[in-house]
Amino acid sequence: GENVEQHPSTLSVQEGDSAVIKCTYSDSASNYFPWYKQELGKRPQLIIDIRSNVGEKKDQRIAVTLNKTAKHFSLHITETQPEDSAVYFCAAIDGNGGSQGNLIFGKGTKLSVKP
């Protein structure tokens, strides 16, 4: 089955700086990689995702890159703001011989943006 590793576990940046979170996955059959943001006491919410036929995707200050050969993908947040402070989870669909639906998550990165 799929295994997802996420680094770093905590990240502290100054407001306005960039933040980068990296994930690796093990199953070369995985083809969908979402990123979720979870604020304290709230539910995880999708912020961006990427499919394996694309190398990079941007949405305003957020971008995700995917390297299929190396089996890693990264989240980039530019011009960070205090409201970006949250726990970020990367995930990969478990290829599992063609089954669908179950996301395998990394252990999360707690991002703190200091004003």
Q: Select from 21, 85, 94, 111 the one that contacts another protein (CB under 8 A).
A: 94
Residue nearer to another protein on the CB measure, 12 or 45: 45
Q: How far apart are the first and last CA of the chain?
A: 41
Does residue 102 touch another protein according to CB under 8 A?
yes
Sheet strands (E) in the chain: 4-7, 10-14, 19-25, 32-38, 45-51, 56-59, 62-67, 72-77, 86-93, 103-105, 109-114
Does residue 46 touch another protein according to CB under 8 A?
yes
Q: Count Cβ atoms below 10 Å from residue 39 Cβ, excluding itself.
A: 13
Subset of 11-40 contacting another protein (CB under 8 A): 31-32, 34, 36
Does residue 107 touch another protein according to CB under 8 A?
yes
Which chain residues interact with another protein by CB under 8 A? 31-32, 34, 36, 42-46, 49, 51, 89, 91, 93-94, 96, 99-108
